[in-house]
Amino acid sequence: MNYTIEYFNERVLEEIEKWPDGILADYARLVELLMEFGPNLKMPHSKALGKGLFELRPKGKEGIGRTFYCYLVGQRIIILHAFIKKTQETPENEMKVARKRVKEVQNG
């Protein structure tokens, strides 16, 4: 059974849609893989960050994007937060947003 993708809110999807074409194309490819393989999708495409939080790792000639997501019952994947990376390390404020949202989603 395939997984379904949902977004935490409309702004998350709008942010992704503004990404440069190359990163957006890779994101679309990775989402297809994520829907097919779910938790079996691993590095270099997806990475577990702990406490139910995962990241999808799209890239293009314009740079690197990141989306944070989690799984919910019923084969549902919620895209919690998205941004374009500008540094090697993932900024702590981006992680805080994702960790807060994963708690909200998991606790209803």
Q: Are 4 and 35 spatial neighbours (Cβ–Cβ below 8 Å)?
A: yes
pLDDT in tens, 35-79: 999 999 999 999 999 999 999 999 999 999 999 999 998 899 999
Domain count, the chain: 1
Overall pTM > 0.85: yes
Range of the domain at 33: 4-106
Enumerate long-range contacts of 8-11, CB under 8 Å, 24 or more apart.
8/78, 8/79, 8/80, 8/81, 8/101, 8/105
CATH of the domain at 95: 3.30.2310.20
Q: What is the reported pLDDT for 1? A: 61
How does residue 108 score in pLDDT terms, banded at 50, 70 and 90? Answer: confident
